[in-house]
């Protein structure tokens, strides 16, 4: 099934075979992170609102669960931007809970937990995975380029409240970018704020797919060694993930496009996905055609070719802290 709201299951290093749920339109976010694999945020979103009807999203999840239930480890709300901006996030999660008894996770930039309604929505999830990649205001703004109204203190206060009220697990994700947050001083600041949130797990990642800013590079191996000295408990996610991406043979080409909207595919992953049903020659022809038709673009990053869907341009920013 091809759905605007549901994608996968796709392999995830944190969540096994993860069925992604997308509760909002493409690249709807209150941040414009320098490392974002969806490109720059053209229009920062200030207000929480209902983007997609709850019933339609829940129904699409139900259909995939009926087909794939045994092959799903987690249902993961994430999407094409910041899922907590969806004002009906809690309703959607509650709706999925009526037929899904397995694990559910929320991947979030962590910016909105100062809002009580967002903390209430979090209660439906077994795991909340927020980004914590800065230990001070300056680094926070450099990394995430958020709405002006979102300060580092406000975001951290929200996360601390979440920790106090939420009984599930918090798996923090620390994304590292060379020259921005990988100095010893930055790492020690991050360690300080992590103590207040006290995550159950800490994952350390680096950009492994083409980022919004081409200069947003992974730290060197020697810097990364320092990172793991400062955070000996951290789980290393600095290597690209492996594993085949899909299931349904007839729909592979269309599903490749759906996956590439959220998740730029390495060349070998795109080939692997298509060659299962089209063969190697067929996979090559298919990718070439999708690129010629403008449905896919190829991007070189770190010596590797990735495929993603073209990024739409929108006019004007609602509020813009730092996009250049
Ligand atoms: S990485 Fe996440 S939080 Fe940052 S701009 Fe992209 S979608 Fe938003």
Mean of the pLDDT values across residues 43-65? 95
Q: Does 259 reside within a domain?
A: no
If one counts the domains in the chain, the total is 1
**Residue whose CA is at the smallest distance from ligand 1 atom 7:** 81
Band (163; pLDDT cuts 50, 70, 90): very high
**Best of 34, 36, 143 to mutate for ligand 1, by most ligand atoms within 8 A of CB?**
36
Q: Does 289 reside within a domain?
A: no
Q: Are strands 304-308 and 297-301 parallel, antiparallel or unpaired?
A: antiparallel
What is the per-residue DSSP string for 7-26?
Answer: EEEEEETTTEEEEEE--SST
3-state secondary structure of 76: strand
CA distance 201 to 140: 21
pTM over cut 0.85? no
pLDDT single digits (tens) 41-51? 988 999 999 99
Cβ < 6 Å from ligand 1: which residues?
29, 31-33, 36, 38, 41, 81-82, 109
CATH number at residue 201: 3.20.20.70
Q: Does 227 reside within a domain?
A: yes
Q: Does 265 reside within a domain?
A: no
CA distance 108 to 206: 17
Residue 155, domain extent:
6-246
Give the number of the atom of ligand 1 that is nearest the alpha carbon of residue 80. 7
Q: Which residues pair with residue 86 across a beta bridge?
A: 49
Q: Which residues pair with residue 268 across a beta bridge?
A: none
Mean of the pLDDT values across residues 125-134? 98
Give the number of the atom of ligand 1 that is nearest the alpha carbon of residue 145. 5
Q: Does 23 reside within a domain?
A: yes
Q: Does 57 reside within a domain?
A: yes
Give the number of the atom of ligand 1 that is nearest the alpha carbon of residue 38. 6
CA distance 118 to 111: 10
Chain-wide mean pLDDT for the chain? 87
**Within the chain, what is the greatest distance between any pair of CA atoms?**
55
Distance of CA 241 from the midpoint of ligand 1 (Å): 19
Q: Are the C-beta atoms of 158 and 116 separated by less than 8 Å?
A: no
| Predicted pLDDT of residue 319 | 33
């Amino acid at each position: 099934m091809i759905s605007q709201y549901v994608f996968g299951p796709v392999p995830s290093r944190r969540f096994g075979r993860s069925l992604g749920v997308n509760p909002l339109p493409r690249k709807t976010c209150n941040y414009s992170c320098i490392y974002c694999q969806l490109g720059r945020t053209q229009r920062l979103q200030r207000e929480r609102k209902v983007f997609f009807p709850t019933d339609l999203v829940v129904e699409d999840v139900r259909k995939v669960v009926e087909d794939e239930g045994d092959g799903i480890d987690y249902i993961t709300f994430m999407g094409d931007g910041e899922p907590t901006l969806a004002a009906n996030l809690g309703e959607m999660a509650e709706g999925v809970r009526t037929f899904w008894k397995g694990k559910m996770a929320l991947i979030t930039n962590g910016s909105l937990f100062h809002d009580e309604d967002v903390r209430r929505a979090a209660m439906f999830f077994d795991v909340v995975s927020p980004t914590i990649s800065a230990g001070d205001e300056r680094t926070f703004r450099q990394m995430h380029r958020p709405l002006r109204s979102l300060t580092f203190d406000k975001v951290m206060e929200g996360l601390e409240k979440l920790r106090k009220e939420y009984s599930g697990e918090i798996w923090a994700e620390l994304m590292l970018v060379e020259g921005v947050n990988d100095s010893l001083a930055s790492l020690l600041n991050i360690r300080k704020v992590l103590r207040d949130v006290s995550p159950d797990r800490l994952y350390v990642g680096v950009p492994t797919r083409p980022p919004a800013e081409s200069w947003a590079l992974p730290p060197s191996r020697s810097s990364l060694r320092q990172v793991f000295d400062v955070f000996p408990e951290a789980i290393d996610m600095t290597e690209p993930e492996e594993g085949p991406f899909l299931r349904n043979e007839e729909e592979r080409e269309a599903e490749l496009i759906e996956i590439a909207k959220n998740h730029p595919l390495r060349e070998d992953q795109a080939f692997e996905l298509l060659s299962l049903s089209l063969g190697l020659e067929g996979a090559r022809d298919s990718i070439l055609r999708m690129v010629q038709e403008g449905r896919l673009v190829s991007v070189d990053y770190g010596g590797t070719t990735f495929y993603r869907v073209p990024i739409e341009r929108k006019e004007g920013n609602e509020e813009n802290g730092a996009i250049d």
